[in-house]
Amino acid sequence: MKSDELKAKEYQIIRRRLTIFHLLLTPALLVLILSSGMHLMFREWSLSIAGAGEWQLAAVYFTIFSIFFLLIDVPLSFYSAFLVEHRFGLSNQGFSGWLKDFAKRSLLSFAVSLALVELLYWIIRSFPDTWWLWAWAGYAFVSYILGKLFPVVIVPLFYKYGKVEDEVLAAKIRTMAARFGLPVENVYSLNLSKTTKKANAAFMGIGKTRRVVLSDTLISNFTHEEIGNVVAHELGHYKHGDIWRLLGFGLLVSLLAFYAGSWGMGRWAPVFGIDGTADIAGLPLLFLIFYVVNFLLMPAQNAYSRRRERAADRFALEVCREPETFVSCMEKLGRVNLSEMEPPPWFEWFFYDHPSLSKRIRVARHFGKGEN
């Protein structure tokens, strides 16, 4: 086995363990909070600080709750996102840069989450019997807004957009984008090399903010033909309306989660000394119910995402008619990103939102032979 393959295998083993650990840690901490009575203690602290005002009480409680999780998240994130990435030579970021981005992400996540929690409890107080349906409608609206704002507000907080400077490549991209109706000004490069050596591309945004984004690491290390296949894949998502499809599937899952939250709070809130769904002390229980529903439905969500990715791959193969170039692109992505060609089937089934590289390569080779 080649050294690069051994390195990728070792890296992915660590990533798998971290993924599973993080997945189990969150519900374990929520169970700990509930079983130990910490959720009630947090409420007492919040009452002593904020008084009985509902909005202030929710804000202080969520702040205490967030600090508890942050204290655990800091060392874990430092290990997984900084130490491991540096150990395998994938990071370009110094400690101060990592810490700055971590703080920025944490503050942004806290601010958005606090606003959502305040909105959720206002809805619960206003519609005690049907809150789950109104909360879901609010979640759907916020998801749509965040989908529009993500590429133009969130991404620029961490990276800078730029034009594709290589004029030959830019002309190739413009021609392809125009062919399928995407405005040519909506194709960008992103300075991903600021933080990592990994290469990536994405189709993001809704309506006027939709765009194809290519990392500068991709543009620097891949041939024009390989980048053309990547752009065609992202254009496949655009032509198939995959952002809307995936948003719709996610909203179906969230509808089930909110309904389960309503049912579960009615059943289990008294067990943990929670005075009904509107009691802010029930926040950890509500989060635990949401988490369990999303955990159980994660394989279905990822299976649907893999289906959309396969359709985008097929689109790229049919547009470019360069199966060998597609294969070389996938192989290079595997080397640059230290991806595992053939992950354990159970892990791919549960966690992967893209097909494994070996499956994508196999499809391309079958396409090259005229097989469907």
Could you tell me the strand order of the sheet in which 211-215 lies?
161-162, 187-190, 211-215, 201-204
Q: Are 143 and 250 in contact (CB under 8 A)?
A: yes
Indicate the pLDDT class of residue 369, thresholds 50, 70 and 90. confident
Q: Are 182 and 212 in contact (CB under 8 A)?
A: yes
Q: What kind and span of H or E run contains 187?
A: strand 187-190
* 82 domain-assigned: yes
CA–CA distance, 88 with 13 (Å, rounded to integer): 12
Evaluate if residue 370 carries a pLDDT over 90. Answer: no
Q: Are 254 and 230 in contact (CB under 8 A)?
A: no
CA–CA distance, 90 with 11 (Å, rounded to integer): 10
Instruction: Record the tokens describing residue 173, joined without a space.
Output: 């991209």
Q: What is the pLDDT of residue 1?
A: 46
Tell me the percentage of the chain whose pLDDT exceeds 70. Answer: 99
Rg, C-alpha atoms of the chain: 23
* 343 domain-assigned: no
| Mean predicted lDDT score pLDDT of the chain | 94
Q: What kind and span of H or E run contains 313?
A: helix 283-320
* 238 domain-assigned: no
* 356 domain-assigned: no
* 292 domain-assigned: no
* 9 domain-assigned: yes
* 10 domain-assigned: yes
Which is nearest to 303 in space by CA: 249, 256, 259?
249
Count of other CB atoms within 10 angstroms of residue 222: 24
CA–CA distance, 233 with 313 (Å, rounded to integer): 6
Query: Tens of pLDDT along 22-79?
Result: 999 999 999 999 999 999 999 999 999 998 799 999 999 999 999 999 999 999 999 9
* Domain ranges, residue 90: 3-157
Provide the domain count of the chain. 1
* 347 domain-assigned: no
